[in-house]
Structure 1
Amino acid sequence: MSTPSTPTRGRPARLDRTRTVLTALDLLNESGLDALTMRRLAQAMNVQAGALYRYFAAKQDLLTAMAEHMVDGVADAAGPAGDGDWSERTACLARALRTALLAHRDGARVFAGTHATGPNTLRFADALVGVLREAGFGDGDAARALYSVANFTVGHTLEEQAALTPGDGGPTDAGALREAVVAGTYPHLAASLPVLTGTDFTAHFEFGLRLLLDGLRAIHR
Structure 2
Amino acid sequence: MSSPSSPTRGRPARLDQARTVQTALDLLNESGLDALTMRRLADAMGVQAGALYRYFATKQDLLTAMAERMVGGVADAAGPEGDGDWSERVARLARALRAALLAHRDGARVFAGTHATGPNTLGFADSLMGVLRAAGFGGAEAARALYAVANFTVGHTLEEQAALRPGDGGPTGAEALREAVAEGAYPHLAAALPVLSGTDFTAHFEFGLRLLLDGLRAARR
Q: Report the Cα distance in structure 2 between the residues aligned to 1:170 and 1:196, rounded to whole angstroms.
A: 19
1:61-210 equivalent positions in 2, closer than 5 A: 61-167=61-167, 171-210=171-210
Residues 197 and 125 (structure 1 numbering): CA distance in 2 closer, same or farther, change over 3 Å?
A: same
Structure 1 stretch 169-178 or stretch 146-155: which is displaced more? 169-178
Residues 148 and 53 (structure 1 numbering): CA distance in 2 closer, same or farther, change over 3 Å?
A: same
Structure 2: state its 5+ residue gaps.
1-7
Instruction: Tell me the TM-score normalized by structure 2.
Output: 0.92
CA contact (8 A) 1:162 1:170 kept: no
Q: Report the Cα distance in structure 1 between the residues aligned to 2:49 and 2:179, rounded to whole angstroms.
A: 47
CA drift of 1:168 comes to: 6.8
CA drift of 1:169 comes to: 10
Structure 1 stretch 157-166 or stretch 116-125: which is displaced more? 157-166
Q: Report the Cα distance in structure 1 between the residues aligned to 2:173 and 2:74, rounded to whole angstroms.
A: 32
Q: Report the Cα distance in structure 1 between the residues aligned to 2:78 and 2:96, rounded to whole angstroms.
A: 9
Aligned partner of 1:17: which letter? Answer: Q
Aligned partner of 1:73: which letter? Answer: G
Aligned partner of 1:44: which letter? Answer: A
Q: Report the Cα distance in structure 1 between the residues aligned to 2:108 and 2:181, rounded to whole angstroms.
A: 29
Identity %: 85
**Aligned partner of residue 82 in structure 2, secondary structure:** coil
Structure 1: state its 5+ residue gaps.
none
CA drift of 1:125 comes to: 0.2
CA contact (8 A) 1:162 1:168 kept: no
Q: Report the Cα distance in structure 2 between the residues aligned to 1:170 and 1:117, rounded to whole angstroms.
A: 37
Q: Report the Cα distance in structure 2 between the residues aligned to 1:176 and 1:63, rounded to whole angstroms.
A: 30
Q: Report the Cα distance in structure 1 between the residues aligned to 2:169 and 2:209, rounded to whole angstroms.
A: 23
Deviations 1:81-133 (A, max 9, x none): 23210000000000000000000000000000000000000100000000000
Residues 37 and 183 (structure 1 numbering): CA distance in 2 closer, same or farther, change over 3 Å?
A: closer
Q: State the aligned residue count.
A: 214
Matched, 1:58 2:58: yes
